[in-house]
Amino acid sequence: MTAQATSPLWTAQDASAAMNAPLTGLSDWDAHGVSIDTRTLEAGDIFFALIGEGNDGHDYVAQALEKGAACAVVSKPVEGLEADAPLIEVADTLQALEKLGIAARARSKARICAVTGSVGKTGTKEGLLHILSRQGRTHASVASYNNHIGVPLTLARMPADTEYGIFEIGMNHANEISPLVKMVRPEAAIITTVEAVHIENFSSVEDIADAKAEIFDGLQSGGVAILNQDNSHFERLKARALACGAGQIIAFGTQDMAEARVTRMSLKPDASYVTATICGHDMTYKLGVPGEHIVMNSLAMLACVHVLGADLALAGFALGEMTPPEGRGRRIEINLARGSFLIIDESYNANPTSMRAVMQALGNTPPGSRGRRIAVVGDMLELGDHAAAAHAGLSAPIVENSIDLVFACGPLMKNLWDALPANTRGAYADTSAELAPRVVKEIASGDVVMIKGSLGSRMARVLEALKALGPEAQPKKNNNEELV
């Protein structure tokens, strides 16, 4: 391994003490990262051999060490290793990862925030990372690493000198958030919003609110709960936060009483312009990710920035430079032989709440000359008994947002297809693979095409087919960004 300029993430001694397990083999290593997957492992990582359904990390220990892992954490003998292979032998590798995460938290002086909610967790986490990394050493979850593995992994990866830590915490069932947030021990906890997402695992939306409110179980005593006052579950969440010992509630949204409130907003196709009051500070900022829902998330981000003691004015500038993450609103302009069309790539995921938010964003995007607003939508999964009505119910936002043409795929989207006004019906197919060529045939210069569906609906196939129609246009320089 090459020498690293920075101090190690974990020395062998510290890692062994954290996991309360002895070192075997070579024991003079330093680690600079933590990995659970040899495909992404880097030299110098500690490799945890986790045992999953149908996959056992112990089968990859030799490969991990060949790739330069500093050591491997194992719970059973692995054959074919060198006699002095650097190992830490534990009873349970996931528990060992949790212990390392807890030790990382214990040694840290970072100001820490946890983010949960039915939608907007990753966007809010990424926004905070973008803002705070300009102001201090910031550590955050990768992608949506928000579950019983992702959270301890993110903790274990947190450098000792981190100043700001941002943790996404998710759940599909009750009692999942509570143990995770107790490891994270945030001083600020954000609940973006509560909606009927993963409703098939719950008997009511109130039960979902209660499961989200588990985030307060790990809130530091006197910590701050940042809650969406426009959401109908606000009072329920607030009561729960106070009962858990929160010292302050910061409400965000559009209402006059909200401590973090928007007073004006101008929603443009590629950005929003916002005037807001954040805990007594008036500010005006540009938001580089369009959509009213992102404006709401930005209020939560700024409230959090304030709580963590970072600078609001710098945060305002940073928001202007934000761009949508891949699959979550990224805009791609494709050149055709004549003219071009615009893709709004929302292929990463979908539920009724985000689908409506994005249809509104499509409505705010004017097509080019003779172009149309086109929605290409695939099934929204995990909706249980609500599925048929939730899909059919999308015909209203389609009409409200002047969407000209709808292409739909999947058995659930048949409900929408049947509910659509006839003049908005583009085509319906069983799968995204069958739908893609139908969309391709229809696209013309000036069109704006929004693609969205649950990950399982594989809407990325439509995205790839459309991207193959021509080269990507170079993003236009936006004069708002540059001073002369």
Ligand X SMILES: Nc1ncnc2c1ncn2[C@@H]1O[C@H](COP(=O)(O)OP(=O)(O)O)[C@@H](O)[C@H]1O
Q: Residue 35: name its binding partner from Mg ion, ligand X, none (Cβ under 5 to 8 Å by kind).
A: none
| 329 or 410: CB nearest ligand X | 329
In this structure, is the dihedral angle defined by the CA atoms of residues 247, 252, 255 and 258, taken in order, positive or negative? positive
Q: Residue 192: name its binding partner from ligand X, Mg ion, none (Cβ under 5 to 8 Å by kind).
A: ligand X
Give the 3-state secondary structure of 331-374: EEEEECCCCEEEEEEECCCCCHHHHHHHHHHHHCCCCCCCCCEE
Q: Residue 354: name its binding partner from ligand X, Mg ion, none (Cβ under 5 to 8 Å by kind).
A: ligand X
Q: How far is the CB of 143 from ligand X (least distance, A)?
A: 9
Cβ–Cβ under 8 Å, residues 132 and 308: yes
Cβ–Cβ under 8 Å, residues 303 and 315: no
**Using CB under 6 A, which of 86, 120, 186, 223 touches ligand X?**
120
Q: How far is the CB of 121 from Mg ion (least distance, A)?
A: 5
The amino acid occupying position 404 is D
Q: Name the CA dihedral angle for 436, 440, 441, 442, rounded to a multiple of 10 degrees.
A: 110
Give residues with Cβ within 8 angstroms of 398, minimum separation 6: 359, 375, 406, 420, 424
Cβ–Cβ under 8 Å, residues 332 and 467: yes
Q: How far is the CB of 212 from ligand X (least distance, A)?
A: 11
Q: Treating both helix axes as pointing N-terminal to C-terminal, what angle do 205-213 and 234-243 enclose, rounded to 10 degrees?
A: 30
Q: Which window, 42-50, 118-126, 405-413, 468-476, contacts ligand X (CB under 6 A)?
A: 118-126
Cβ–Cβ under 8 Å, residues 276 and 260: yes
Q: Residue 32: name its binding partner from ligand X, Mg ion, none (Cβ under 5 to 8 Å by kind).
A: none
Q: Which window, 78-86, 119-127, 266-274, 377-385, contacts ligand X (CB under 6 A)?
A: 119-127
| 122 or 340: CB nearest Mg ion | 122
The amino acid occupying position 462 is V
| 358 or 376: CB nearest ligand X | 358
DSSP one-letter code for 281: E
Cβ–Cβ under 8 Å, residues 451 and 362: no
**Residue 329 lies near ligand X (rule: CB under 6 A):** yes
**Using CB under 6 A, which of 33, 123, 290, 410 touches ligand X?**
123
- The rounded distance, in Å, linking the Cα atoms of 327 and 233 is 28
Q: Residue 193: name its binding partner from Mg ion, ligand X, none (Cβ under 5 to 8 Å by kind).
A: ligand X
Burial classification of residue 444, based on how many CB atoms lie within 10 Å of its CB (0-12 exposed, 13-18 middle, 19 or more buried): middle
Q: How far is the CB of 189 from ligand X (least distance, A)?
A: 15
| 144 or 323: CB nearest Mg ion | 144
Site for ligand X in 340-379 (CB under 6 A): 346, 349, 353-354, 357-358
Q: Residue 353: name its binding partner from ligand X, Mg ion, none (Cβ under 5 to 8 Å by kind).
A: ligand X
Q: Which residue has the tokens 């003779």?
A: 370
Q: How far is the CB of 431 from Mg ion (least distance, A)?
A: 25
| DSSP H or E stretch at residue 2 | none
What would the two tokens of residue 199 be?
């409703």
- The rounded distance, in Å, linking the Cα atoms of 121 and 193 is 9
What does the DSSP assignment read for 298-323? HHHHHHHHHHTT--HHHHHHHHHT--
| 144 or 277: CB nearest Mg ion | 144
Q: How far is the CB of 353 from Mg ion (least distance, A)?
A: 14
Site for ligand X in 252-311 (CB under 6 A): 293, 296-297
Q: How far apart are the first and last CA of the chain?
A: 46
Q: How far is the CB of 283 from ligand X (least distance, A)?
A: 20
- The rounded distance, in Å, linking the Cα atoms of 239 and 463 is 44
**Using CB under 6 A, which of 27, 133, 135, 144 touches ligand X?**
144
Q: How far is the CB of 268 from ligand X (least distance, A)?
A: 16
Q: Residue 293: name its binding partner from Mg ion, ligand X, none (Cβ under 5 to 8 Å by kind).
A: ligand X
Q: How far is the CB of 462 from Mg ion (least distance, A)?
A: 22
| Residues contributing to the site for Mg ion (CB under 5 A) | 121-122, 144
| 75 or 122: CB nearest ligand X | 122
Binding site for ligand X (CB under 6 A): 117, 119-123, 144, 192-193, 293, 296-297, 328-329, 346, 349, 353-354, 357-358
